[in-house]
Amino acid sequence: MPSLRFNHGSYFAVFSIAGRKIWKKIGRVDKREAKRILKKLELEFERDRLNLRELKQISLFDYAERYLEYTRTNKAVSSYERERKILDHIKRFFSNLPLTKMDTQKIESYKTKRVANGLKPRTVNKELSVLRFMLRKAVEWNYLSENPYRGIKMLKPAHEPVRFLSVQEIDKLISNASVHLKPILVVLRNTGMRTHELLNLRFSDIDYERRIILIRSHKTNNFRAIPLNEECYKTLVRLQDKFPHPNTERIISRAEHQRNYVFCKLDGSKLEKITNSFNKACKKAGIKASPHTLRHSFASHLVMNGVDLVSVKELLGHTQISTTMIYAHLSPSYKASTVEKLPWI
């Protein structure tokens, strides 16, 4: 129950919440009026605390659209697209039920169904994370009185070593790549950039004098600087004036309209993806990989050559060191060589 306090000519309602005193101003009124307002505030507080406030009614499909509007405004484009696809699965399973009918049992059934469909625990956990956050927002926006996700446990993913390519495999992949793909692979293996960061790379992001690339991340809404080694520097210098033609396998002079994006289409617009050309190179080289494998390879080879994890974290643009820890794995031969360095051997 709140108490009534008089301070500096005004009355205040003082609430005690989790050991904290919260003062809410009533105003310059007489004591009788202050007590009346105090009772009203107490009632409102109890309704909120006991979740007795009136909820706004909405269906799952309508709420999903409302949530996606929030995601489009507040998250990166890649995050929005990922969550939109996840919500398609969620809507298909739950149908268009009233959001207030969403309960723990239904969410557990969804988790069981996705596992039965053959999805990996890590993938299911990503979907559950979206659902959890979405329902938490529903409570905040007064569509739900409490989050029905409470009590749902994440699946325990299997800890598998990250797949990375050997030096020989990367060289073989590059030698089997098209003229247009070769410089892309060279930049990826020397910078560890995410694919969307590479596709958004502009010549204005490169400081040739200081030999650094400024990478703007839509994922973390931040930027980081990556130093250029000799191979990467020479490749980017060459690309200022030369354009690898994606269709004729010839290297031609770069036109003025192609001087914005480093890797672009003939009309100068940025590339949307490199998946098709990358898969063709993998098939020719007899290697199973994805563009993201080169990011793993960049980090793994740094670690194997003695670079500390904090530096690797900064180069990769991770926000948490725990994410970088997946690259702490080392090849068996390298591990064997490290124990040989013990002083008593």
C-alpha 93/C-alpha 64 separation (Å) is 13
How far is CA 5 from its chain centroid? 48
Establish whether domains 60-140 and 167-338 are of one fold. no
Q: What digits encode the pLDDT tens for the residues 225-258?
A: 999 999 999 999 999 999 998 888 899 999 999 9
Of all residues in the chain, the percent with pLDDT exceeding 70 is 90
Name the architecture of domain 60-140.
Orthogonal Bundle (1.10)
Which residues pair with residue 59 across a beta bridge?
98
Q: What digits encode the pLDDT tens for the residues 258-307?
A: 999 999 999 999 998 899 999 999 999 999 999 999 999 999 999 888 88
Which pLDDT band holds residue 19 (cuts at 50, 70, 90)?
Answer: low
Average pLDDT over residues 45-53: 53
Structure tokens at 158: 């299997």
Q: What is the pLDDT of residue 221?
A: 63
| CA 126-89-276 angle, 5° bins | 75
CATH topology of domain 167-338: hpI Integrase; Chain A (1.10.443)
Residues near 278 by Cβ (< 8 Å), separated by ≥ 6? 177, 181, 290, 291
Give pTM, 2 decimals.
0.64
C-alpha 207/C-alpha 227 separation (Å) is 10
Domain boundaries, the chain: 3-49, 60-140, 167-338
**17 vs 27: which has the higher pLDDT:** 27
Q: Looking at beta carbons, which pairs linking 16-24 to residues 24 or more positions away fall under 8 Å?
A: none
Largest CA distance in the chain: 89
